[in-house]
Amino acid sequence: MKYIADVVTLEFFQEKCTGCGKCVEVCPQGVFLIRDKKAFVTDRDRCMECGACANNCEFGAIKVNSGVGCAAAIINSMIAGGPPSCDCGEQSGSGCCG
Amino acid sequence: MGIEKISFLPRTPGIKKAAGQPAVSKVSSEWTWKDHLGQIKCRLGSLRMRYTVNPGLYAVGEPDRESDVFVTANYKLSFDILRRELRGLNAWIIVLDTKGINVWCAAGKGTFGTDELISRINEINLHNVVSHRRIIIPQLGAVGVNARIVQQRTGFRVYFGPVHAKDIPAYIRAAYIKTPEMRLVRFNMLDRLVLTPMEINPAMKKFPLFSLIVLILFGIQPSGILFKDAWEGGIPFLIFGLMSVFTGAFITPLLLPFIPFRSFAVKGWITGVISVFALMKGIELSYYKNILPLASAYIFFPFASSYIALQFTGSATFTSMSGVKKELKIGVPVYLTATALSLLILTIYKLSQWGVI
């Protein structure tokens, strides 16, 4: 299943890539593959901006804007300003996580 | 708000405790009826916010110094799934303190993260528990765990295991090499189905307020509120409202890939407008003696279904924050306009009823 096209903030700098394969190991959507000791992006629109790749690339070859992405959190941040947050875990009853 | 007592975790007397080590709790791989009930309750409602196990070291089977080490969150459902899938193996389980949140959400928030893992490894004295230096964490934990830093600070090499615990036995047999399928998160109809109660609940929490507004709108007269008018006028709208929750929170998530367009808001609008159209067949035009309330319903309820369906982006495994932002940027003004318009139409209807216009 694919989501909205042409919006993700994923940036991949192939010149910094050493082909270590960590991004392939951690991406839950199959965004990367390794060929000839370099990573390639298979399909940007599969990216869900979770940030696992950027978190584990030690060569700085990947940047992505990851963060809380649920609609309620974003609406909160549209109203109150600041980054999206939904206080999961802070109070019982707000049951979006878990 | 308390911690659910884990009296039903089968415990046998702890494994021989080496000096200087914290106690280990041995757990079985079986689920009791209480574990099954706990899972159902978590899927249905707010037990999930206080369904935890204590962080620390656990043993499945009879692990020794060569046995593998797996890591999970202290959300009891995460823990239960892991220990079940380790059935037949001898393994250690490290439970991190993720404030009772599952692995993936906690990783996104940072609580299933590098620092917590490092401090837990040190607190457990893992170096004395196993002689190897391998630690297997769920792939979805990679959002919060930086493998290189963990290795630098503890000497343990992080292996990102499969996304789904059920693939662990095959992963181990394949010498810790994942197949491409093991790396992909699954989101089939059953996965979506079990998430629907937690879409329906928040939507229904707003239903009493919605009902109150509807009943007042239909009941209000210059002289006060007429209960008969409120009920007779309002009941179709209450039914439309329930139907919007049904299409937005249940049907749209369930049938997600079969509904056209990628936008969740659009998918929710489509299921919503179809249901309004179908329900309209049950209401004769003569019911209201006026087309205005029907027009108002046609405008409002598909967008209500749309808004409710849009909330599902938070639970879906393939939606990006950027995509949701784009949906909201377009959607929120549309929702506000549609709500204002439908209220305006109802106001005009009321005024015409009172003979004012």
Q: How many CB pairs under 8 A join A and B?
A: 166
In a domain, A94, yes or no: no
**Residue A85 belongs to some domain of the structure:** no
**Tally of domains in chain A:** 1
Q: Does the distance separating the beta carbons of B50 and A66 come in below 8 Å?
A: no
Chain A residues within 8 A of B326 when measuring between CB atoms: 4, 7
**Whole-angstrom Cα Rg for chain B:** 27
Residues B319, A48: C-beta atoms closer than 8 Å: yes
Is residue A49 in some structural domain?
yes
CB atoms under 10 Å from CB of B342, counted, come to 21
pLDDT at B174: 97
Residue A3 lies in a domain: no
Q: What is the pLDDT of residue A87?
A: 54
Q: Tokens for A44, please give them.
A: 């940007």
Is B320's CB within 8 Å of A8's CB?
yes
Tell me which residue of B285, B287, B283 sits closest to B275, measured CA to CA. B283
Give B113→chain A minimum CA distance, Å.
11
* pLDDT computed for residue B7 by the predictor: 32
In a domain, residue A4? The reply is no
* Global pTM value: 0.90
Q: B151 in helix, strand or coil?
A: helix
Q: What is the pLDDT at residue B220?
A: 92
Does the pLDDT value for residue A70 go beyond 90?
A: no
> Would you put residue B24 in left (φ > 0), alpha (ψ -120 to 50) or beta?
beta
Any domain includes A89: no
Contact (Cβ atoms closer than 8 angstroms) between residue B112 and residue B144: yes
CB contact under 8 A, B320 and A49: yes
pLDDT surpasses 70 at A84: yes
- What's residue A71's pLDDT? 87
pLDDT for position A89 = 42
Split at pLDDT 50, 70, 90, the class of A25 is: very high
pLDDT at A75: 86
Assembly ipTM: 0.90
CATH assignment at residue A27: 3.30.70.20
Min CA distance, B193 vs chain A (Å)? 15
**Does the residue A65 lie in any domain?**
yes
Is A48 in contact with B317 (Cβ distance < 8 A)?
A: yes
Instruction: Please list the rounded mean pLDDT of every run of 10 residues in chain B (357 residues).
Output: 33 48 83 95 89 95 95 97 97 97 94 97 94 97 97 97 98 97 97 96 96 95 91 94 98 98 98 95 78 94 97 95 95 96 96 88
| A80 CA: distance to closest CA in chain B (Å) | 15
CATH of B25-186, one of 3.40.50.300, 3.40.50.11600, 3.30.470.20, 3.20.20.70: 3.40.50.11600
Residue A32's domain comprises: 11-80
Q: Which residues have C-beta within 8 Å of that of residue A65, sequence separation ≥ 6?
A: A9, A49, B321, B322
Q: What does the pLDDT average to over A44-53?
A: 96
Q: Where are the domains of chain B?
A: 25-186, 190-353
A27 in a domain, yes or no? yes
Q: Do B313 and A70 touch (CB under 8 A)?
A: yes
